[in-house]
Amino acid sequence: MSTDKKVALITGGNKGIGLETARQLGKLGITVLIGVRDEAKGEAAVAELKKDGVEAWAVKLDMENSADFSAVAKLIEKDYGRLDILVNNAGIFLDGRKANETSTTSKDVLQKTFNTNFFAVVELTQTLLPLLKKSLGGRIVNLSSILGSNTLHATPGSFIYDAKTFAYDASKAALNSFTIHLAHELKNTKIKVNSAHPGWVKTDMGGEGAQLDIETGAKTSVELATLQDSGPNGAYVHLGKPLPW
């Protein structure tokens, strides 16, 4: 089944920012595939999206199971022949929230956080890159966070200076590095790679005190997923404004 419509894959697309990103992209006429660990939850999310007129499908994609990565690539190749948009949205937050616990952050928390937030993203992107190269203008969006900004973490008085969650912050800083390096490698192609900071969003991960609604939280991902050819490459962005690395 080939299609003239753009095709997007959104990891962790069954809830929160991922689901809203799927909804907003779908309303732009893009076919959305939502990568999910739990297929029943994925089908429920698809049913919700279809009520809004979105062409959506759930695909099994457990970020802890690399066998799913090649299976998704084969499915996309078979059904669509290419991938136009990859939104690396799935992520986890395992740190405590009460204080800076860097000196006591366990190896287990660090490994689990990096496995999902960094290593799996790199592997999935590398697996899907041949399909993105078949697009007339591939877009890769890595969902980062302002907490990945080493510059702001090192600047007394900055918005995040006292918000030190070591494993999560370091994993997003590493993800930003991946964005920079891959964007440079692909700079002479039609693919653009950028990092998105969604904002402090009212989701399960956002927790108490979050300031932005989910609709606003998805906007940066959607904007970077639908960039014109003149748009940025290798940027770190929140609602159209660059952030310091």
Residues with catalytic roles? 168, 172
H-helix segments, 27-97: 39-51, 67-79
Order of strands across the sheet that contains 236-238: 56-60, 31-36, 7-11, 85-88, 139-143, 192-196, 236-238, 241-242
Whether residue 220 contacts residue 227, with contact meaning beta carbons closer than 8 Å, is answered with no
Amino acid of residue 171: S
The C-alpha atoms of residue 150 and residue 154 are separated, in whole angstroms, by: 6
CA 163 to the chain's CA centroid? 22
Q: Check residue 16 and give left, alpha or beta (phi > 0: left; psi -120 to 50: alpha).
A: left
Whether residue 16 contacts residue 93, with contact meaning beta carbons closer than 8 Å, is answered with no
For 176, counting Cβ atoms within 10 Å of its Cβ (0-12 exposed, 13-18 middle, 19+ buried), the class is buried
